[in-house]
Amino acid sequence: MTDTSPAPAEPHAPRILLVTGPSGAGRSTAIRALEDLGYEVIDNLPLSLVPRLLEGPRQGPSLALGVDTRNRDFSTGAFLEMLDRLDVFGVELLYLDCRSEILQRRYSETRRRHPLAPAESPAIGIARDFDLLASIRHRADIVIDTSELTVHELRAEVGRWFGNQMDNRLALSIHSFSYKRGLPRGLDMVFDCRFLRNPYWEPSLRSLNGLSAEVADYVSEDPRFDGFFEKVRDLALLLLPAYVEEGKSYLAIGFGCTGGQHRSVTMAEKLGNTLAEAGWQVSIRHRELERNVAAAGRPAPQTGTRN
């Protein structure tokens, strides 16, 4: 039988991370979180200085560079050209994203002027930001959508992705979600669970979710469940070592169902636990469950990182 578990981690060179995104999406919060994780942080560095900073052998801690569209030499073309030049250094790009209406609400609540439209409405500045960053977002190695995240949740999410500096294994993020609210951004693989038995139609299970044994048992009793799960598991175990060889650092897998409460949660939990037992670093995120507990003011569900 072929061993599909990852090779033991070996010491590796410090990571170099570029952090960007539209104003108001949480870039500064992410930068501070990275600093707390031990990164050497430089914010608002002019693009022309970034290549000079990276010349020569890298020593010391990992490096996080914040790049803002407000920088005096910023342009989309210059940023993309810089990314191409820095490819030899193994630079990774973290993009903090956020929906336009959420950014407008944040600016309205703080009564701040948008840096790209100081004498106009924030909506105009946000549109300019999105226009400048659209091509850059497509080049990102990882996208974190902060639309539904609090400051503390964003810091936790950064910690899940970048918290273990001594581990060079591919980091997995497994998400459950509701198709009614759309796909989470940044997913690499998506599986539709809506063909499985739906616990919503069982009165005794409707108020529960896929974290409960009762719901998990009900979903797994579907005669198609085992075959579906085994094929998804085998596909993941086949691809993960190949992604590591390719140099990919992150992989995001999503499971969707109608309400994001039962079937998708069950699948995300089962796959996450299975891959963690195989030795992979796994972060599990249940978008709809987190949204529900945040709205009710209750503690978040016990998901998070599995090792």
Write the CATH number for 77. 3.40.50.300
235 falls within a domain: yes
Q: CB-based contacts of 36: which residues, under 8 Å, 6+ apart?
A: 155
Considering the domain architecture, whether residues 140 and 221 belong to the same structural domain is answered as no
Is 9 domain-assigned?
Answer: no
- The residue among 224 and 52 whose pLDDT is bigger is 224
Spell out the residues 6+ positions from residue 115 whose beta carbon is closer than 8 angstroms to its own. 23, 69, 70, 125
Residues 150 and 31 in one domain: yes
For residue 170, the model assigns a pLDDT of 73
3-state secondary structure of 170: coil
Per residue in 274-284, is it b (16+ CB within 10 Å) or e — as a string?
Answer: bbbebebbbbb
CA 81 from chain center: how many Å? Answer: 25
6: pLDDT strictly greater than 50: no
Considering the domain architecture, whether residues 133 and 205 belong to the same structural domain is answered as: no
Is there a contact between 304 and 192 (Cβ–Cβ < 8 Å)?
A: no
Question: Which residues does 264 contact at the CB level (< 8 Å), separation at least 6?
Answer: 176, 177, 178, 193, 210, 255, 256, 257
Q: Which of 97, 127, 162 is the last residue of a domain?
A: 162
For 145, residues 6+ apart whose C-beta sits below 8 A from its C-beta are: 97, 98, 99, 184, 185, 186
Query: Do 239 and 134 lie in a common domain?
Result: no
Which residues are CB-neighbours of 86 under 8 A, at least 6 positions away? Answer: 16, 18, 50, 51, 54
> What is the token pair recorded at 282?
């796994």
d(CA 107, CA 24): 8
- Give dist(CA 144, CA 295) in Å, integer: 21
The answer on 195 and 300 residing in a single domain is yes
User: pLDDT higher for 37 or 167?
Assistant: 37
Instruction: Say yes or no: 175 and 157 in one domain.
Output: no
- Domain C-terminal end among 162, 186, 207: 162
For residue 220, tell me if it sits in a domain: yes
| Residue 149 domain flag | yes
Q: Is residue 237 included in any domain, yes or no? A: yes
| Separation in Å, CA 221 to CA 171, 172, 214, 227, 254 | 30, 27, 11, 12, 21
For residue 126, tell me if it sits in a domain. yes
Residue 113, domain extent = 16-162
Determine contact, residues 254/21, Cβ cutoff 8 Å.
no
- Is the pLDDT at 295 greater than 70, yes or no? no
pLDDT at 167: 46
Q: Does residue 297 have a pLDDT over 50? A: no
Q: pLDDT band at 228, cuts 50/70/90?
A: very high
Is residue 132 domain-shared with residue 211, that is, in the same domain?
Answer: no
87 shares its domain with 218: no
User: Given pLDDT bands bounded at 50, 70 and 90, which one contains residue 204?
Assistant: very high
Does residue 7 fall inside a structural domain?
A: no
Q: Is residue 99 assigned to a domain?
A: yes
Residues 241 and 104 in one domain: no
Q: Do 46 and 184 lie in a common domain?
A: no
30 and 109 together in one domain: yes
Domain boundary among 112, 127, 162: 162
Both 40 and 83 in a single domain?
A: yes
Neighbours of 126 (CB within 10 A): 26
Give the distance from CA 106 to its chain's centroid. Answer: 21
CA angle 90, 96, 100 (to 5 degrees): 145
The pLDDT of residue 298: 45
Count of structural domains, the chain: 2
Segment 96-125, tens digit of pLDDT: 999 999 998 888 887 788 887 888 888 898
- Characterize the bridge pairing of strands 189-192 and 304-306: unpaired
Residue 5's pLDDT is: 45
